[in-house]
Amino acid sequence: MRKVKATAPGRVNLIGEHTDYNQGWVMPAAIERNVVILGSAGEGRQVTVTAREYKQTVAFSLDRLAPPEGKAAWIDYIKGVCWALAQAGYELTGANLVVQSTIPIGAGLSSSAALELAAAAALVTLAGVEIPLPVLARICQKAENEFVGVKCGIMDQYAVALGRAGQALLLDCRSLDYRYIPLKLGDYCLLIVDSRVERRLSASAYNRRREECEAAVKKLNHILGRPLQSLRDATLEEVKEARPYLPPRLYRRSRYVIEENMRVLESAAALEKGDLATFGYYMGRSHAGLRDLYEVSCPELDLIVETASGTPGVLGARMTGAGFGGCAVVLLEKDMVEEVTVEIKEAFARNGWLEPYFYRTAAAEGLKVDI
């Protein structure tokens, strides 16, 4: 019987937040936590999925796939992938899938993109179909946008599909060109700190940010008298000149996006030179922009970043992912992990907040399929 094992990692975004849907640049890395799907060929057109975490088994037919009416459940991500693959003209066959995951769910480390990519890889392999990874990533994004109903950008699916051990992925979200940037961390490492703040209102606030960016592009078109496709096409000088004519909120959003794009490119250049200190500096600037201009941070993430940044041996810290809770990422000396962890735990305890979770990670390998 045909069998497959698909392993898809989560991701941490190193810099370039809320820039993907503005056709800008992002620089994520895959992390050492995975969704693993064991698959075998099934009966006819039926897909049966067992999720170990939820102790649930759900079966559905490939011939009857409709978007969820209420809140999406985990199975909708897999149904969505089947739907999007069919839309793209790929014929799947029945399958039995068993899903296991070590990626914390809802923490902003792309457990959904990992589930989508692992399921897509398992299903297409069982159906004997070959799809290039960038195409598979775009199909999974379509599943999430149009079936699950979350208007995410392309970053997560690309990072999960194309991540490489020891490297960050520098992705141009307009052309979808990408290249790998070495993450030579030496005596330093990455520490992910999960604030444990549930990203409850994140979907609506995320969509609002997207709409604000679209509105800013329209206004800037008018003010600058030239057609911009996205905020990527405006310069910082132009946005500063346009400031008196822009609603203050749209000015803040535009300025953030343009500056963040610059920070991504500067960070990539610094990392290529092995200059971790400069990269750390941009991480700090990125967090400040997300907090003050894009307004997607929260007190817990700010406290993590502030506490970490004030501890010796820390080169930089920032919130990562969509924001409104979820995780921060810290670049620090390996020897200081213990100390930073204690400082953050104590700062949280003083506020009476839940103790954060800590995950040390290196940049890991992307999607992998074993037959």
Task: Supply the residues annotated as catalytic.
Answer: 156
Give 64: exposed, middle or buried? Use CB within 10 Å, 0-12, 13-18, 19+. Answer: exposed
| Region from 18-26, 48-56, 120-128, 329-337 binding ligand GLA, contact rule CB under 6 A | 18-26
Which of 322, 327, 330, 347 touches ligand GLA (CB under 6 A)?
322
Helix (H) or strand (E) holding 110: none
Task: Report whether 124 contacts 130 (CB < 8 A).
Answer: yes
Contact flag: residue 153 with ligand GLA (CB under 6 A): yes
* Residue type for position 243: R
Contact flag: residue 18 with ligand GLA (CB under 6 A): yes
Which residues, numbered 295-314, are part of the site for ligand GLA (CB under 6 A)?
Answer: none
Question: What is the C-alpha to C-alpha distance for residues 85 and 143, in angstroms, rounded to an integer?
Answer: 8
Helix (H) or strand (E) holding 192: strand 188-194
Contact flag: residue 116 with ligand GLA (CB under 6 A): no
Largest CA distance in the chain: 67
Contact flag: residue 8 with ligand GLA (CB under 6 A): no
Shortest distance (Å) from residue 15 CB to ligand GLA:
10
Which of 321, 325, 356, 366 touches ligand GLA (CB under 6 A)?
321
Secondary structure, 3-state, 23-35: CCEEEEEEEEEEE
Contact flag: residue 260 with ligand GLA (CB under 6 A): no
Binding string, residues 211-230; x marks residues near ligand GLA by CB under 6 A? --------------------
Contact flag: residue 155 with ligand GLA (CB under 6 A): yes
CA triplet 181, 151, 102: central angle to 5 degrees? Answer: 60
Question: What is the C-alpha to C-alpha distance for residues 118 and 12, in angstroms, rounded to an integer?
Answer: 17
Shortest distance (Å) from residue 94 CB to ligand GLA:
30
Contact flag: residue 21 with ligand GLA (CB under 6 A): yes
Which residues in this chain contact ligand GLA in the complex, by CB under 6 A? 13, 17-18, 20-21, 152-153, 155-156, 321-322
